[in-house]
Structure 1
C-alpha cells in the first residue's frame, strides 16, 4: 500500500474577463479510482488548503456527460486539502499534480510545492502530472540545480487543444514551456497518451488520458512494493 499526494490548484479568478478556473475533476477522480483499486491511499493538498476551486467546465455535461465526476465532487471527496506548506513530503511514495488551467496560475511557480516535489523525487518516489499538471515540473530544480525535466520525454496539454477564448488569458503556453526543457510528445493518433520520462517521472497528455495515467501510476507503485517485499525476503 503506497501513499500518493494529489496536489490541486486552489483556483484562479479573473473578474475582468469573467474567467474562473481551478483543478479539473476527471484528472483527480479518474486516477484516484485507479490508485484505490490497487489498494493505494490518496491524500489531497493545495496551495491554500481547505476546499479548492474546481473548474466548473469540468463538471459540465460536455466533459462529464454521465455526471460521475460531479457526483464524486458533490459527495465532498475533494472538500478538504492540506496546505502544501504543511505537507510532510517524506511520508509519500508519489506525488500526482492534477491538471486544470488553475495549475498554471498558482502551482507553476510555487516554491513550497517545488520543495515537496524535490523531497519526493530525492527519496526515490514517483513524480507524476497530467494535462496542465506538468506546469510546476517545468520550473522545479533538483538540489544540484538541474531542471527536473531536463531532456526527458514528456507530454502535457497541447497548444492546438487549448480553447481559443482562453489562450490570451493564460500566463504561458504549457507546450512551449515544456519544449524549452524537455522532449515533448503529443501523439495525436492515440486517444489516451502517457509517457514515462524516467522510472520516476510520469506525465499524461489530457483529461482523456487520466484513467490510463492513474492505472500506470498505480501499477508501478504496486510493482515497487512487490520488489521491495521480495528484496526483504531475500
Structure 2
C-alpha cells in the first residue's frame, strides 16, 4: 500500500509541544509522511511551558509534560523537519472585501483560484490542526485555514483538531448558509474548567492576555447545536471524540490518543469513538 501523507497546520504564535508530538509520532510509526504548514510560512516554535516538565498547569494543579515527552518535544522542535513549512498565504487566496473596486471580477478570480485547492489536496490523506494558545491568534479566524478545512471536508478526508485548534472547525463555514460545519456533530475541545484564569501567552508577543479571549466550550456548544453535542469529559484523563470526518482532542493529554485514532480512521475505517 502506498504511503500516506498528512498535512499538519501549526500556529506561528506558539504550539503546545505534545500536541504536535502525539500525532506526528503516530504518523511516523505508520511510515506516513508529514508536511507542515503555517499561516505565512514562518517556522513554528513550541511554547516554552510545553518544554518544561516542571511547569504546573494551573487548572489541573499538576505537570502535564513528562520528562520523556519534554525531551522528545525539544528534539522535534529543534529538528530540521519544521524549517520550511508551506505558507498558507502563498497557497490559498484571500477573499476580497465587498467594498474593493471591481469586486465582481475579484471574487470570480478568488473562486477560480480556490477551485484549485481541491486538486492540490489530492496528495494528502488527512489534515491535522495542532493546538496550544497560538491558534487563538492566527488560526481560529483565519479564512485561508477555513477554506482548507472545507476542501478536506468536500474530499471526505479526516480532519484532526486539538485544543484551541478546534475553534477552526466551529468557524469554518460556507459563505452561503453560514452554518458551522460541526453543526449536528459530536466534538470535544478545551473545556471551561481547564481554561486559565491568567497567564495565556504567545510566542513573539510580550503580552500576558490573562484568560483566553473566548471560552471555547461555549463556542463549541453553540456550533454543534441543536442535534450535536460538546463533550468536556471533565475529570476524565483523556477526551477524544471521533465523529467522522472530525477527530477532536480536548487538550495536551489527548494528543497521543488523537494520533492513534487518526491511524484507526485511516487504516481500520473507524467512524465513531468516545460518545
Q: TM-score range by the shorter chain?
A: 0.7 to 0.9
In 2, Cα distance between the equivalents of 1:76 and 1:164? 35
In 1, Cα distance between the equivalents of 2:83 and 2:53? 22
Q: Please, which runs of 5 or more residues in structure 1 have no aligned partner?
A: 12-21, 225-234
In 2, Cα distance between the equivalents of 1:196 and 1:114? 20
Q: CA deviation at 1:179?
A: 1.2
Q: Could you give the per-residue CA deviations for residues 194-224 of structure 1, whole angstroms, max 9, x where no partner exists?
A: 1112x21110111101001001001211235
Q: CA deviation at 1:143?
A: 6.8
Q: CA deviation at 1:163?
A: 2.2
Alpha-carbon contact 1:58-1:64 (below 8 Å) kept:
no
In 2, Cα distance between the equivalents of 1:161 and 1:74? 29
In 2, Cα distance between the equivalents of 1:147 and 1:139? 6
Aligned twin of 2:267: 222
Q: CA deviation at 1:144?
A: 5.9
User: What SS class does the counterpart of residue 9 from structure 1 fall into?
Assistant: coil
Q: Could you give the per-residue CA deviations for residues 74-120 of structure 1, whole angstroms, max 9, x where no partner exists?
A: 22332321111327334322111000011111101111111111111
User: What SS class does the counterpart of residue 266 from structure 2 fall into?
Assistant: helix
Instruction: Give the one of 212, 220, 228 matched to 1:170.
Output: 212
In 1, Cα distance between the equivalents of 2:76 and 2:148? 27
- The answer to whether the aligner puts 1:194 opposite 2:240 as a matched pair is yes
Aligned counterparts, 1:91-106, within 5 A: 91-106=123-138
- The answer to whether the aligner puts 1:158 opposite 2:162 as a matched pair is no
User: What SS class does the counterpart of residue 241 from structure 2 fall into?
Assistant: strand
In 2, Cα distance between the equivalents of 1:84 and 1:36? 24
- The answer to whether the aligner puts 1:52 opposite 2:40 as a matched pair is no
User: What SS class does the counterpart of residue 150 from structure 1 fall into?
Assistant: coil
Aligned twin of 1:6: 8
**Residues 207-216 or 62-71, more deviating:** 62-71
Pair 82,188 (structure 1): closer, same or farther in 2 beyond 3 Å: same
In 1, Cα distance between the equivalents of 2:121 and 2:37? 11
Aligned twin of 1:19: none
> How many residue pairs end up in the alignment?
213
Aligned counterparts, 1:128-143, within 5 A: 128-142=160-174
Pair 170,191 (structure 1): closer, same or farther in 2 beyond 3 Å: closer
Q: Could you give the per-residue CA deviations for residues 168-211 of structure 1, whole angstroms, max 9, x where no partner exists?
A: 453311111111112111112432221112x2111011110100
Q: Please, which runs of 5 or more residues in structure 2 have no aligned partner?
A: 55-64, 93-119, 201-209, 270-275
Q: CA deviation at 1:39?
A: 2.3
User: What SS class does the counterpart of residue 80 from structure 2 fall into?
Assistant: coil
Aligned twin of 1:181: 223
Alpha-carbon contact 2:195-2:212 (below 8 Å) kept:
no
Q: CA deviation at 1:64?
A: 4.6
Q: Normalization by structure 2: what TM-score?
A: 0.72
User: What SS class does the counterpart of residue 77 from structure 1 fall into?
Assistant: helix
In 2, Cα distance between the equivalents of 1:3 and 1:93? 6
In 1, Cα distance between the equivalents of 2:215 and 2:87? 26
Aligned twin of 1:14: none
